[in-house]
Amino acid sequence: MKLKILILCCALLAAMFTLAGCADRKNEPGTSTTTTPEMTGNGAYDADERGIVDDDNTITEKMPDTTGSGSSTDTFGTEEPGDVTDNGVVTGTSDTTGAITSDEAAFASSYMSASALSESSIGWGLGKERDSDGRPLDAVNAEKKYAALGARFLTSGEKRICLTFDEGYENGFTAGILDTLRDKGVKAVFFVTGDYCKSAPELVRRMIDEGHTVGNHTWSHPSLPHCTQKEVWADITRLHDYVKSEFGYEMKLFRFPMGEFSERTLDDVHELGYTSLFWSFAYADWDPNANTDPAEALAKIEASTHSGIYLLHAVSKTNADLLGSLLDYWHENGYTVGAEL
């Protein structure tokens, strides 16, 4: 009899522990959704020549999709990555070669983020409204809104201009631009692609040797918001690793191809250790067939002078022709021009 009572008590205790465990799991953080406050700031931008996609500030709880087909909605905490260490390094190996690829190692650390940001595509452009310092209001608002995601749209100092050039391909004018910068004692930021590095390595080497900053403009110049998260990490890290291997240079600044980004891709770039540089001035200089008159272009740039980030395309002969006069104008008006923010 005593033995039966003892067995019955053990069974009751086991049942109680099972029920208690179920109740605890219902209250685990991983089984409930979380609410992330929306980022503040004015996300409405006026369209430029290329058009602007409306911003969407909705922040959803999404887990990265490891199949390469995009992200899928899931409850935070219900899925854990396999073979990932505390510092975001994959401990597994490639199925085909047995080696860990750089994009897999980088992509793994994205799992460390508690939530995914909006994937809505935003095309960066500037309206005509300006503040009392002559800075575009869109850039002022964006600087506040996206600063936490490592994005910059303006310089931090008074009368400071950060001069940048995008280098998608070489059109024969970069050497002259470098000559002018050398003669004027000015440093600039050059954003390069994979094709540019492979086709004009001597110019990339000259940029580095002459003290300019070389920035990552992706390997293949895709529209990143339309790529999967793994593709974004792979394209950026491929160029990063190539430049480090071929030139012994580690890039820290990034520019989105075509100015197209999303909150999710901003976060991806930031997780890779980059600062995303946008711009507070640009004009239609990316078409080498436009044949813009240098005097007309110079007047337009001078009239918009403010403390900010200037984007020029090195494929433009006009930019190469006007650069010396432009630098003189900025210096005469008390501006510090360089690669610094």
Residues noted as catalytic: 166, 313
Report the distance separating Cα 113 and Cα 60, nearest Å: 13
3-state DSSP call for residue 152? strand
Report the distance separating Cα 107 and Cα 160, nearest Å: 36
Report the distance separating Cα 280 and Cα 81, nearest Å: 39
In 3D space, the residue among 285, 279, 327 whose CA is nearest the CA of residue 302 turns out to be 327
E-state strands within 183-322: 189-192, 213-216, 253-254, 260-261, 275-277, 308-313
Report the distance separating Cα 262 and Cα 269, nearest Å: 11
Report the distance separating Cα 93 and Cα 71, nearest Å: 23
In 3D space, the residue among 215, 193, 211, 221 whose CA is nearest the CA of residue 272 turns out to be 215
**From residue 100, how far is each of 58, 89, 235, 276 by CA, in Å?**
35, 9, 16, 27
Q: Residue 310 corresponds to which tokens in the numbers above?
A: 């200037």
